[in-house]
Amino acid sequence: MTDRQPCNPSASGSAGELLRLLSGLPEKKDRRVVLGQYITRNSHNSNPYDPAQAWERYYQDVYRQSGEYPGLAGFDFSGRSVDGAGADSGPSDSNWREYAEYHHEQGGLLRFMWHASNPWTLETSWSQIPQGGGLEQLITPGSEAYDRWNGWLGRLADQLETYAKKDIPIIWGPLHEMNGRWFWWGTGATDQFREVWRHMYRYFTETRGLHNLLWMFCPDAKASCERAVEQYPGGSCVDIIAPDLYYVSADSGASPALYDEFSDPKYGKILGWGEIGVNTEERIDNRKFIEEIRSRFPLVTTYMQWGDVFSAGTIKTFALPSNDYMTELMRDDWMLPRGELAKLKNK
């Protein structure tokens, strides 16, 4: 098995074991891709489900329909929806922590993310840095944005510490799709983005001692590859590179630009798809993604299908149970649903 070490030299034993497991998957003949499903934000999803309902729909329904659970479950600390609903802008896991811990206890992997609200304006992630603002203000004392951002980081660290104390390794993918310009953190200078990432890394690992995290860098596959390279914070604070990949239609292919760039041995990182889906209102064949990985992107070790999105009377069916051939996907010999993943972890 590939002897790849975490970027954090003080990483916990469980984090190191998880990284080594993922590192070895491309060398296997079968059972080599961890199948993931995004479950929920803390509240106010882009669908009508509260966290308990989302757990039933995106986790339990997968089992009821296929006899298998997702190998990876995704959760988001945000309490804000794309339309701005939700009074509290700060990060929280209060409405889904029990589900995340249960999934871990059953042998699954956890991927946490955070659609952070705008620390200048308190708008949602889908906003801009206001005129006169800049990402450097988040790491330079003396502004309200600095105080708010670092207060949020403190709240996040308090919650992540709960998992660290239970020795639960977390795949942590903050500030995703940074090479696009739809989230506020993607609208700033690329060098400043790198410093904001590094500041978070130092605070979590060095100041707060959170050594259970594997750090995942998630640019967007349809946005600029050049910008993603410029924003890459460096191998000393990244473990996994996992672009978000959304196909235009069920018949379209994926751009290989980010895969080709970050699969270069000079990066030396595990590869995955952070989020994946097809931007259509029609049901699709769930097997599309593993077939593309098998034929075009064989170094991808994990992917996470997104939850369904309800907007303006339309529904985009991204989730496993909302599309076709889920059982066949779960039984594909390259797949690692929760049961197969638990077997691999226990070898």
Residues marked active site are found at 177, 275
Give helix 144-165 / helix 97-105 axis angle, nearest 10°. 40
Q: List the beta bridge partners of residue 39.
A: none
DSSP 116-139: PPPTTT---SSS-PPTT--GGGGG
Q: Which two tokens stand for residue 333?
A: 């010999």
Using CB atoms within 10 A of its CB, is residue 281 exposed (0-12), middle (13-18) or buried (19+)? exposed
| Nearest-angstrom CA–CA distance, 320 and 59 | 9
Which amino acid is residue 96, in one-letter code?
Answer: W
| Nearest-angstrom CA–CA distance, 2 and 26 | 10
| Nearest-angstrom CA–CA distance, 213 and 166 | 13
Q: Which residue has the tokens 């089992």?
A: 63
| Nearest-angstrom CA–CA distance, 195 and 31 | 37
Radius of gyration of the chain, Cα coordinates, nearest whole angstrom: 19
Helix, strand, coil abundance in the chain, percent, nearest 5: 35, 15, 45
Type and span of the H or E element at 61: helix 61-66
Type and span of the H or E element at 301: strand 300-305
CA dihedral 64, 68, 74, 80 (to 10 degrees): -10
DSSP state of 321: G
